[in-house]
Amino acid sequence: MLTREQKVFYQENGSLALEGILSQEELKILHETIDELVEKAQGLETPNSLCDFEPVPEGGRKVVRRIFHPFEQAKCFEELASHKTILDAVEDVIGPNIQIHHSKLNMKSAGVGSPVKWHQDLPFFPHTNFDLVACLIHLDDATLENGCLRVIPGSHKKGPLDHRRDGKFIGMVTDDLKKVDLDKAVDVPLKAGGMVMLHCLTLHSSAPNRSRSPRRLLIYEYRASDAIQLRGTPNDYMGRILRGEAPTTVRLVEGTFILPDYPIGTNIYDLQAEYGG
């Protein structure tokens, strides 16, 4: 799937944008399914197992901020996780034995979409090695105005950074931001149907949505089958093999990992809002 140049780019930068992964027909099915889930969510209270909501309603109506575990919410999301083009790209960066770790759907609705501050993914769910990749599938055009992804190229080479303040895990990098050059941050706008592959240690963030256009982002976190989780919130499908074989060994990288202490069910928005100031 990936060219040699794309593989080198991912290895050096810790992220890679790919255009045209999904067709317009595939996007249409996903959009219709999301509309159904959002309509269902309007009748639910928070917290619940389907979604959470933006902190401020719009016109008296609750606005869905995130749909939890879309892999479990609708068949089309479960099937998409095994999309050949996606798994071909994943195999090129983490190897042939691929498991699903988790999924989420960040809605970032027009005018109210919440920001996300600088963080890495792995500190939320440390593993025995770093062969995890998030595939960020763009269901709408992502622009600077509606809060597209921002990354710091090469930041994955810094290793796991501290996401604590006063000993408390807060879901964002704190003092360790001094170890990276924030001036190197780049925006990653992308058309609907495109996908960004993101190394589990690449620093990334996104601004609030200040436009009239939504920026819905479907995220699958994949891991090599010999990467074993050390701490983090479990789910019912974690570890399901999507390609290759079940592990017979565990692969360890040398290092010391800070284990997150957030309560089960807490998400990044809550952590950053409560403790991030």
pLDDT tens, residue by residue, 19-77: 999 999 999 999 999 999 999 988 887 667 899 999 877 677 789 999 999 999 999 99
- Record the pTM: 0.96
Domain-located, residue 46: no
Per the CB < 8 A criterion, the answer to whether 174 and 165 are in contact is yes
Select from 215, 10, 235, 252 the least CA-distant residue to 106.
215
In this prediction, residue 119 carries a pLDDT of 98
pLDDT exceeding 90 applies to what percent of the chain?
83
Give me the chain's average pLDDT, please.
94
More reliable by pLDDT, 267 or 134: 134
The three state secondary structure string of 44-93 is CCCCCCCEEECCCCECCECCEEEEECHHHHCHHHHHHCCCHHHHHHHHHH
Domain-located, residue 50: no
**pLDDT value at 226 more than 60:** yes
Residue 275: in which H helix or E strand, if any? helix 268-275
Q: Per the structure, how many domains does the chain have? A: 1
In this prediction, residue 45 carries a pLDDT of 76
Q: In this structure, what CATH number is given to the domain that contains residue 116? A: 2.60.120.620
Domain-located, residue 140: yes
Domain-located, residue 47: no
d(CA 95, CA 36): 35
In this prediction, residue 17 carries a pLDDT of 98
Domain-located, residue 173: yes
In this prediction, residue 275 carries a pLDDT of 62
Domain-located, residue 267: yes
In this prediction, residue 56 carries a pLDDT of 74
In this prediction, residue 276 carries a pLDDT of 52
In this prediction, residue 267 carries a pLDDT of 86
Measured at the alpha carbon of residue 13, what is the angle toward residues 8 and 16, in degrees to the nearest 5?
Answer: 75
**pLDDT value at 208 more than 80:** yes
More reliable by pLDDT, 115 or 61: 115
d(CA 13, CA 271): 27
Domain-located, residue 55: no
Q: Could you give the C-alpha distances from 29 to 83, 140, 171, in angstroms and in order?
A: 14, 13, 33
- Structural domain boundaries, residue 189: 4-41+61-275
Lowest mean pLDDT across 3-7, 96-100, 162-166: 162-166
Domain-located, residue 52: no
**pLDDT value at 168 more than 80:** yes
